[in-house]
Structure 1
Amino acid sequence: MLKWLVASLFCITLGVGECQSAPNAQVIERKHYAPFEQEIGFSMVSRVGDQLYLSGIVGAGGDVAAQLQSCYQTIGEILADYGTDTRAIIRETIYTLDMEALKKAQDLRKTFFTHGSYPSATWVQVERLYSEELLIEVEVQVLLAEKGEN
């Protein structure tokens, strides 16, 4: 609030009717983990304040279970890069070509979430993902701890 007040007073002092930046504007940090992100035109990770958004997480392997395991391994590595773990995931969306195979892999999925801290989740069967070899794609939203919290 104080920052907004100072910015407003600065604008008034300069005779500017409207400031260029909104008082609640936050910096968006974007991070790339794979070369294909730049080629396609997206960021696998975006951070705004204490919110972390992971999208386009795909995995390797010949079936849904293998790709799911690979996706979760990548997600775990990204979370570790931000000093957190799966307990910080608050929302998950899984896109799959085969819902029945995903249901069969749910025990594997459960092992990924430590301490039984499952997020809100939506599973969606789709006709196709970006590449034909992909069977699954995962996106998650993470709430990062304040500095000093764990």
Structure 2
Amino acid sequence: MHSKMIFLFTALMLAGCAQTAPTKITRYTINSWESDIGYAAVVQTGNTYHISGVTCGGPNYKEAVSVCYKELGGILARHQLTSQNVVKENIYALDIEALQQQIPVRKNFYVGSQFPAATWVQVSRLYSPEHLIEIELIAVK
């Protein structure tokens, strides 16, 4: 019995020391100027894709929201993803009320009403003064 206990204890200790392989991280750029600023448009860790904020401007929020989601749809498609893979969305807006009026435009992006966890934040300024909103996503394949 004593030798079985020692064997079991040793097996448990060795199992606790087992290490998993490090997660591979792959960085993707879309535009050449991203390296000038110092970021990647998409960072993939395993099956998770972290999509940097896409900024959009225009004459109004309807156009800005439409353009941003169209661009995000293209980024997702390049990685064989759709809006149904999106699990988290952060939106930064200069005018949160104007963004709220575009909820129908946003909801059209999420096929089948598969909405992600989301955070919307009003900010005083984005990277470029002409931008109205910035949307970043996390998607899982």
Shorter-normalised TM range: 0.7 to 0.9
Q: Given the alignment of the two structures, is residue 142 of structure 1 paired with residue 139 of structure 2, yes or no?
A: yes
| Partner residue of 2:123 out of 102, 123, 126 | 126
Q: Given the alignment of the two structures, is residue 57 of structure 1 paired with residue 49 of structure 2, yes or no?
A: no
When you count strand as a share of all residues, which structure comes out higher? 2
Task: Report runs of 4+ in structure 1 exceeding 3 Å deviation.
Answer: none
Output the CA distance in 2 between the equivalents of 1:35 and 1:72. 21
Output the CA distance in 2 between the equivalents of 1:29 and 1:50. 11
Report what 1:81 is aligned to: 78
Output the CA distance in 2 between the equivalents of 1:65 and 1:42. 28
Structure 2 stretches lacking a partner, 5+ long: 1-13
Q: TM-score, normalised by structure 1?
A: 0.78
Q: Which has the larger radius of gyration?
A: 2
Equivalent pair of 2:90/2:136 in contact (CA under 8 Å): yes
Equivalent pair of 2:94/2:122 in contact (CA under 8 Å): yes
| Partner residue of 2:92 out of 86, 90, 95 | 95
Q: TM-score, normalised by structure 2?
A: 0.83
When the two chains are superposed, the root-mean-square deviation of aligned CA atoms in Å is 1.8
Structure 1 residue 24: Cα displacement: 4.0
Structure 1 stretches lacking a partner, 5+ long: 10-21, 145-150
Structure 1 counterpart SS, 2:121: strand
Instruction: Name the structure, 1 or 2, with higher relative contact order (CA <8 Å, separation 6+).
Output: 2
Q: Given the alignment of the two structures, is residue 42 of structure 1 paired with residue 39 of structure 2, yes or no?
A: yes
Structure 1 residue 54: Cα displacement: 0.4
Aligned residues: 126
Q: Given the alignment of the two structures, is residue 27 of structure 1 paired with residue 24 of structure 2, yes or no?
A: yes
Equivalent pair of 2:57/2:132 in contact (CA under 8 Å): no
Q: Given the alignment of the two structures, is residue 104 of structure 1 paired with residue 101 of structure 2, yes or no?
A: yes
Output the CA distance in 2 between the equivalents of 1:130 and 1:23. 39
Equivalent pair of 1:59/1:69 in contact (CA under 8 Å): no
